[in-house]
Structure 1
Amino acid sequence: MPLKVFLKPSVVVALMAAAVSAQADLVVLQYHHVSDSTPPATSTSASLFEGQLEMISDLELEVVGLLEGTRQTLSGSDGKGNRIAISFDDAYDSVYETAAPLLADKAYPYTIFVNTDAVGRNGYMTWDQIKELAERPGVTIANHSADHGHLARKPGEAESDWQARIDNSLDSAQETLARELNSPAPMFAYPYGEFDKALEREVAERGWYGFGQQSGAIGPKTAETRLPRFPMANAYGQLGSLEDKLRSKAFPIDTGELPDGVISENPPTLRFPLVEPIDAGQLTCFASGKGRIDFDVIDGKVKVQAPGTFNSRRFRYNCTHPAGDGSYYWLSQQWLDLGRPED
């Protein structure tokens, strides 16, 4: 008679988590300035940036190109451990002066998302500098819009006006990059990390991957037009919490089924399915500026709603869950209040 082995539910959950966490998810780091003299909210000090690169090296994590890594991860390619991709928004001159030499020393690939109207202005790279970097091995240039505008449809904006504005911002930038660099990558970083379902459709119709500024790792079930990145400015990229981010795993749900980020109520409600190996007893959720928040499980779905209203234009709900081997599944939903002033 065959021997039957019965495992406790908690052990089953742990084993399933370990199996899923074995896949090679992609963690994308997002930077603006790498400087000690630029605005703190969007800057990573040179010493912190060096420390971050050293931690990636010490953990023996592979750094891959963003386009290559995204394609492989979404296709479900097998692998061991996480892979890391590095990206910069806006093409600030500190990336050329400070970050690029440090990355060259490590032979790490990276991507620069360029808002084309700003090139050559004070504090930004010139086209000559961008072209020089683009010719280096492992450096990719991609689209960050022409004007770095708030691209979600504004309250009261006619759909035809919004469509014309989006077409101009996205397509003129891509045309400029094509003219200057020949073949820009099919990737787009949303200015301010702001997007809505309609903007996601525009990005999808162009055959581009869309990257936000909400945190989390990319996995096979991550939606192609709401790909997460971990902001690495001084307040968010400190070394004490960096390892958890570098080793984080994509939450095992289809993120394309998450709600539109534009809020219709304040505080908004996030719902997502309670799928294996997620155990409600080990799930923890947080809200921007409010710390840990409660959630309910109703009909197999997790319902998350902050206890009070938000007074900022952008804010997030983050949920984490142990994924085995000391890592965490990480889900971040960015919310956008169009009634609040633009930056």
Structure 2
Amino acid sequence: MSNVFYQDQVAVLMYHHVHETDGGGITITPQLFREQINHLRNLGYHFIHLHQFKHYLSGSHIPPNAVLLTFDDGYESVYENVYPYIKQQHIPIVNFIMTETLPQAAHLPPTMTVQQLSIMNKETDLVENQSHTDGLHHKTNNDDPAGDAYFTSKLPTSNGTIETDEQYHTRIVEDAKRSRQQLHPVNQHAVDVVAYPFGIYTDTAIQYYQEGGFNYGFTIVEEMATRQADPMKIPRINAGSPWITPGDLHAIIQSKIVS
């Protein structure tokens, strides 16, 4: 009989880049990813769909040890190194796509194309393509971890002034609408979920994205997700570090369980 570590809560796991040779703190190898997932599955974790998670927030039942897998930034490595595995194992995932990267252009690391998103959308019901905003995954100073984020900050205008409240409001709402419009053809379900760039958000920015059609938002606050969570401030646990072994990931999840 499977272990029951927790019930009525969800470990939402966050990944980014899954690549054999690329380095960095948000990149793991395909082998480590598979080992992590196999380890969790063997221990009795259950991988759920995004629509199951939404229903859970509204009061529906979910299996014990529920896990939701999410991938930020829309790297092509997810299509090449994650999708074949999750399709074989029948494990659902969520891609959070920066939709400004969808036109054919050079990006490093390479990002997924509309065609690749369409293939995943049509071949199975395992992949949801949701938003990482359209063009807000930037800071005014990318070398500064605390640099002003496009999502939460008023930006300089072409005439040298700073955006007014109304200009900022319009920019964020229109970004939300553009992102939804571009993702609608490559998603079987409603496009109404956003992961905040860099995990940075304000209540005002969230309100404006809601005006643009979004009902759920994911953060990088490392906690379990429960029904008590604000649906626009859902926590996630980072699993996509090269230093997180399968055993470490299990231990991290165990340390976050809400009793």
Q: Bin the TM-score by the shorter chain.
A: 0.7 to 0.9
Q: 2:116 aligns with which of 120, 126, 129?
A: 129
Match of 1:188 among 148, 169, 194: 194
Q: Could you say if the C-alpha distance between residues 183 and 67 of structure 1 is closer, same or farther in structure 2, counting changes exceeding 3 Å?
A: closer
**Structure 1 position 116 matched with structure 2 position 99:** yes
Shift of 1:157: 4.4
Measure, in 1, the Cα distance between the counterparts of 2:125 and 2:255. 28
Aligned residues: 231
CA gap 1:101/1:204 in 2 versus in 1, 3 angstroms: same
Structure 1 length normalisation: TM-score? 0.62
Q: In 1, Cα distance between the equivalents of 2:219 and 2:91? A: 22
Q: Please give the residue correspondences for 1:133-282 in structure 2 after superposition, counting only pairs within 5 Å.
A: 133-135=120-122, 136-147=124-135, 148-149=137-138, 150=149, 151-154=151-154, 157-179=163-185, 181=187, 184-205=190-211, 206-235=213-242, 237-247=244-254, 251=258
AA paired with 2:125?
A: P
Deviation at 1:95, TM superposition (A): 0.5
Q: Structure 1: where are the runs of 5+ without partners? A: 1-20, 252-322, 324-343
What is residue 29 of structure 2 aligned with on the other side?
45
Q: Identity rate of aligned residues, in percent?
A: 23
Match of 2:46?
A: 62
Question: Residue deviations 1:155-205, cap 9 Å, x none?
Answer: 864212211221232111111112555754321111111111112222344
Larger relative CO (CA 8 A, sep 6+): 1 or 2?
2
Q: 1 CA distance for matches of 2:169 and 2:67? A: 35
Structure 1 counterpart SS, 2:230: coil
Q: What is the rounded CA distance, in whole Å, between the counterparts of 2:171 and 2:256 in structure 1?
A: 36
Distance 2:203 2:64 in 1: 32
- Could you say if the C-alpha distance between residues 177 and 110 of structure 1 is closer, same or farther in structure 2, counting changes exceeding 3 Å? same
Deviation at 1:108, TM superposition (A): 0.2
Shift of 1:249: 5.1
Q: Deviations over 1:214-240 (max 9, x none)?
A: 211111111111101112222563323
| C-alpha separation in 2, matches of 1:108 and 1:192 | 26
Say if 2:74 and 2:97, in contact at 8 Å, map to a contact too: yes
Distance 2:13 2:30 in 1: 15
1:84 is paired with a residue whose SS is: strand
- Specify every segment of 5 or more residues in structure 2 that has no aligned partner in the other structure, as ranges: 139-148, 156-161
Alpha-carbon distance change, 154 to 235 in structure 1, aligned in 2, over 3 angstroms:
farther
Equivalent residues of 2:180, 2:192 under 8 A apart: no
The DSSP-based 3-state class of the residue aligned with 1:161 is helix
Question: After alignment, is 51-60 or 31-40 more displaced?
Answer: 31-40
- Does the C-alpha gap of structure 1 residues 154 and 33 become closer, same or farther in structure 2, counting only changes over 3 Å? same
Structure in which a larger fraction of residues adopt strand: 1
* Letter of the 1:200 counterpart: I
The 1:57/1:139 distance shift into structure 2, 3 A limit, reads same
Q: CA deviation at 1:39?
A: 4.1
Query: What is the one-letter code of the residue matched to 2:131?
Result: N
> Is contact 1:32-1:92 (8 Å) kept?
yes
For the residues of structure 2 that align with 1:184 and 1:115, how far apart are their CA atoms? 17
The answer to whether the 8 A contact 2:219-2:234 is kept is yes
Larger Rg: 1
Superposed CA offset, 1:259-297 (max 9, x none)? xxxxxxxxxxxxxxxxxxxxxxxxxxxxxxxxxxxxxxx
Name the stretch that deviates more: 52-61 or 171-180.
Answer: 171-180
Given that 2:15 and 2:239 are in contact with CA atoms closer than 8 Å, whether structure 1 keeps it comes out as yes
Other structure's SS at 2:178 match: helix
Distance 1:32 1:200 in 2: 22
